[in-house]
Structures are given as C-alpha cells and as structure tokens.
C-alpha cells in the first residue's frame, strides 16, 4: 500500500494505491489503474504517465466523472475525490507526490510553487530548479515546528455515515436528531466552499447559523464587502448609523456613500469616516463562533479535552475575559475564500497554548486560541501570550498586527474608522468607487481611488 498526496491551490487530499504483485487481485489492480489514469498527463495501452506537477484539463474532469459513475457503489468516498478534482479549474496546476516525502517545509514549497504556476510567474522547469523557498521556510518556521504540528483540516470532517454520527455539540440530545443539512466548518457567509463537518446536527447547525455565526458575519461585514467575500446571499450592501452605505458594485469595484459633516469642505472628503453598525452584537458570540470553527476542525479523539470550551460555546458557562484575537490585513490580494491552518502543540510545555487557529478570509488573517480544559482561564493577558507570540517567528517578524478584545458579553455596536491618506502631494484619496486591487494593496484600508 502506498499513500499519495495531491495538492492544489484549493486544498489537498490523500489516497492509497496498492503495490501490485503477481498475487494481486485483478479487480484491485484495475481499480488502481483507473484511479491513477484520472490524473495522468497521458494514458496509453502501456500505462499512465504522471508528473510531479500537472495541469487540469477537461479530459481529466471527464475521466473523474466516468470513474465515479462506475465505482461509486463500491465506495461512496469516491464522490469526494471527484469533487476535489472538479474544484480545480481547467488550466490550473496540482501536485501529486508520495506522502512519505512531505514535511512542512516541502509542503510549503509545493503550495507556493502551485501559486506561482497558476499566476504564470514561473514555469515548471524554473520551479523544479528553485529550492530556495525550502531553505527560507526552514529558517523562518524552525521554532514553530519545534513547538507545533502544523496542518490543515480535511475538506470533509467527521463520520460519513449518518447512522453512526454523534453531534459534537449536543451529543444527539436535541430531538429529533438529524444530519440532513450541510454544516459548514467555517460559516458559508465568510466564503467557505471547502470545509464541511458531518458531525454537527441540523438543530445545532441552525442555532449556530442564526446565533454565534451570524454575530461573526456581522462583526466582519466591513471586511467582507471590502474584500469581496462571496457568501450564499451574493454581494453585500451595508448600511450604517451615519447614513453611510458600502456596496459591492462588481468584482472589482466598491461604492461608498456618506453624508459629510457641516464642517467638511465642499470640494474634499473628510479625512476619517466612522462606520457604526446598525445592529448590536455580543462580542463573546464572535469568539464563540471562532472557537466553534476550531473545535469542528479537530478529530473526534482530539476533542475530548475541550469539554469546557464546548460548554461555553453552548452558553452553559460564562467567562469574564477572553484571549485576544490578533489580526493582520495581508497586502497581497488573495483569490481564495476562507481557509484554515491549525497549530497543535507537540509537547507538554504548558507555557504555550495547546491549540492555535489561523483563519484566512481573503486578505484578512485572524489568529486566535482555542483553550483545552487545563488552560481554560489562561492566556487572557498580554504577559501570558507574549512568549508564545515571540516563538511564532513567522508572525512576530511581520509588522501591522493588531488585536480584538472580544470579552464584552453585553450587546454593543461595532464601529470601524476609515482613514483617508494623500496619494501624493497634490491629490487626496477619496472614498468612492475604487478597484479591488487598490483596496487590497493598502494594509489599513486607506486607499480607495482618486478625487
């Protein structure tokens, strides 16, 4: 048995093929040959030619569909493989390699290479000759990998068979218990089309969607419209208390309207505009939603030590203070929707948090803790978190980080202050209609077109 890893810009998955001998089952041999033929660059009577980096084609999509139609009754998991391949756009690249060669440095190298290939910044020949990224990764992440196992969740988490599922959050205590809805591990409103958690019942999924997940979406609405995060309801239009509106006009344009104060010059916009939400939210519910994302990304045996956090998510317990949520606006435009990177502590060094989640929503990066039962009341002060933050060298070397304190339990309005800065000596950036590129390139959302 050989384990293979397939990586694309949309995600990754692993599958097994058998090492065939004279005693191998003919049926198993045919299955494995058909499976590998899907992703092969060339299929002939003598076999399939498979490269380390390959480009998706319409023919490969078609072969995936035919394979699924033929074999799906034998193993329903084949549908996941077909969906994974169909999610790779025609013309985009993927990498196929043995699992045994992967370590975090190699995988980062592969992920970066695929991005460069898709953006046509480098050719395959140039990629294969360039190994500098591996060495840079080793230097940058060396301390991180000593402390944490770095991974991403599977696209489909939990028990595939409905009859065997137990809800993570209510243990099937909410009746009638059913698992008919698709429970998104990250709320769909944040652009998640990738991650699904099977072990969240329909009642809990509905309650979270109308409760804590809605609070998270409301809290991040300003970023969602600025970065064109596409949820299930389409483009956003936001209204604020000062009669300002922000509307996504198209994929590359945002329209912002506001009422100037009497003191503002008639021929120039104000240099700062406050945007205060109409609806109040409980900030702890924002963190509850973030914690739910983290808990749902863990495997069943890993969740056993997080019962206190699960009770708090379900509002069975209360807390007076929470760890801060660090955030950074990445100056590089990201076309991906929502994504996750998980950091799970390898050792028993309790000076460091056991579980850290890095949530990407287009160009917005959130880094936060999900505490296990032993550290439930810890890491809420700057002094406690300082050593951890310094150990995460790939974070601490970057400037521009800020933090949210989401400890407030009472409903509050959320206000974002939009600052305008001069593009040059004679012209002033004005809130109006600007391009997506302009919006994303400025790390503080301060540049939106020219007056």
pLDDT digits (tens, 9 = 90+) for 180-226: 999 999 999 898 888 999 999 999 999 998 899 999 999 998 888 88
Helices 78-86, 58-71: axis angle to 10 degrees equals 170
pLDDT tens, position by position, 67-126: 888 887 777 778 888 888 999 999 999 998 888 777 666 777 888 889 889 988 889 888
Question: Does residue 166 lie within any of the structural domains?
Answer: no
Please state, in angstroms and rounded to a whole number, the distance separating the CA atoms of residues 53 and 117: 9
How many helices (H) and strands (E) would you count in the chain?
14, 22
Does residue 100 share a domain with residue 232?
no
Comparison of pLDDT for 43 and 252, the residue scoring more? 252
Tell me whether the omega of the peptide bond preceding residue 244 falls within 30 degrees of 0, making it cis: no
Domain end marker among 130, 161, 190 = 130
422 found inside a domain: yes
Q: In whole angstroms, what is the distance from residue 165 CA to residue 158 CA?
A: 8
Cβ contacts of residue 296 below 8 Å, gap of 6+? Answer: 157, 168, 183, 185, 197, 200
- Could you tell me what percent of the chain has a pLDDT over 90? 37
* pLDDT for residue 224: 87
Q: 364 vs 178, 190, 283, 293, CA distance in Å?
A: 34, 11, 18, 16
Which pLDDT value is given to residue 200? 95
Last residue of a domain, one of 79, 98, 130: 130
**Does 86 share its domain with 147?**
no
Q: Do 409 and 299 lie in a common domain?
A: yes
User: pLDDT grade, residue 282 (50/70/90)?
Assistant: very high
Give per-residue pLDDT as tens, 357-392: 999 888 888 999 999 999 999 999 988 988 888 888
d(CA 136, CA 341): 19
pLDDT of residue 295: 96
Q: Are residues 62 and 89 in the same domain?
A: yes
| Residue 33: domain span | 2-130
In a domain, 281, yes or no: yes
List, as own/partner pairs, every contact residues 375-382 make where C-beta atoms lie below 8 angstroms and the sequence separation is at least 24, other chains included.
375/350, 376/308, 376/309, 377/319, 379/323, 379/353, 380/321, 380/322, 380/323, 380/407, 382/324
Judge if 124 and 222 occupy the same domain.
no
Residue 53 lies in a domain: yes
In this structure, the answer to whether residues 147 and 29 fall within a common structural domain is: no
Same domain, 365 and 239: yes
The phi and psi torsions of 192 (rounded to 5 degrees) equal -80, 115
Same domain? 110 vs 239: no
> What is the tens place of the pLDDT at every residue in 42-63?
766 666 677 889 999 999 999 9
Residue where a domain terminates, one of 73, 95, 130 = 130
Per-residue confidence (pLDDT) for residue 268, from 0 to 100: 56
Asked if 232 and 370 sit in the same domain, the reply is: yes
Phi, psi of 402 (to 5 degrees): -130, 175
Total domains present in the chain: 2
* Res 396 pLDDT > 60: yes
Residue 394 within any structural domain of the chain: yes
Please list the residues that pair with 253 across neighbouring strands.
250, 435
Q: Is residue 246 part of a domain?
A: yes
115 and 230 belong to one structural domain:
no
Q: Are residues 267 and 123 in the same domain?
A: no
What per-residue confidence (pLDDT) applies to 431? Answer: 35
- 382 and 434 co-located in one domain: yes
Q: Name the average pLDDT for the chain.
A: 81
Which pTM was predicted?
0.71
> 167 lies in a domain?
no
Q: How many CB atoms lie within 10 A of CB 117?
A: 21
């Amino acid at each position: 048995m050989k384990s293979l890893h397939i990586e694309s810009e949309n995600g990754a998955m692993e599958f097994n093929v058998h090492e065939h001998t004279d005693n191998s089952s003919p049926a198993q041999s045919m299955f494995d040959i058909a499976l590998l033929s899907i992703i092969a660059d060339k299929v002939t009577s003598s076999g399939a030619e498979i490269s380390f980096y390959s480009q998706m084609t319409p023919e490969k999509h078609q072969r995936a569909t035919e394979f699924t139609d033929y074999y799906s009754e034998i193993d329903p998991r084949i549908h996941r493989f077909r969906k994974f391949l169909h999610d790779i756009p025609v013309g985009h690249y993927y990498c196929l390699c043995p699992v045994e060669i992967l370590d975090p440095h190699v995988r980062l190298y592969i992920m970066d290479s695929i991005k460069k290939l898709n953006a046509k910044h480098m050719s395959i020949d140039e990629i294969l000759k360039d190994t500098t990224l591996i060495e840079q990764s080793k230097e940058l992440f060396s301390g991180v990998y000593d402390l944490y196992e770095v991974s991403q969740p599977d696209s489909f988490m939990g028990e595939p068979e409905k009859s065997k599922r137990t809800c993570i959050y209510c243990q099937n205590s909410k009746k009638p218990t059913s698992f008919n809805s698709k429970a998104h591990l990250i709320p769909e409103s944040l652009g998640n089309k990738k991650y699904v958690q099977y072990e969240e019942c329909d009642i809990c999924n509905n309650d979270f969607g109308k409760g804590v997940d809605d609070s998270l979406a409301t809290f991040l609405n300003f970023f969602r419209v600025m970065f064109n995060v596409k949820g299930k309801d389409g483009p956003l239009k936001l209204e604020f208390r000062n009669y300002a509106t922000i509307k996504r006009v198209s994929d590359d344009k945002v329209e912002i309207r506001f009422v100037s104060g009497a003191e503002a010059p008639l021929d120039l916009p104000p240099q700062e505009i406050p945007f205060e939400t109409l609806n109040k939210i409980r900030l702890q519910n924002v963190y509850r939603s973030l914690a739910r994302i983290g808990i749902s990304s863990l495997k069943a045996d890993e969740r056993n030590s997080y019962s206190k956090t699960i009770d708090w998510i379900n509002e069975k317990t209360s807390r007076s203070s929470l760890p801060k949520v660090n955030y950074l606006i990445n100056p590089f435009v990201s076309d991906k929707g929502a994504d996750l990177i998980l950091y799970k502590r390898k050792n028993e060094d309790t000076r460091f948090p056991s579980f850290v989640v890095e949530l990407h929503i287009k160009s917005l990066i959130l880094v936060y803790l999900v505490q296990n039962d032993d550290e439930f009341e810890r890491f809420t002060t700057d002094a406690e978190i300082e050593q951890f933050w310094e150990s995460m060298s790939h974070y601490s070397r970057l400037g521009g980080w800020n933090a949210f304190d989401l400890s407030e339990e009472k409903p509050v309005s959320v206000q974002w202050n939009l600052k305008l800065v001069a593009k040059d000596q004679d012209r002033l950036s004005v809130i109006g209609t600007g391009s997506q590129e302009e919006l994303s390139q400025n790390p503080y959302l301060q540049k939106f077109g020219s007056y």
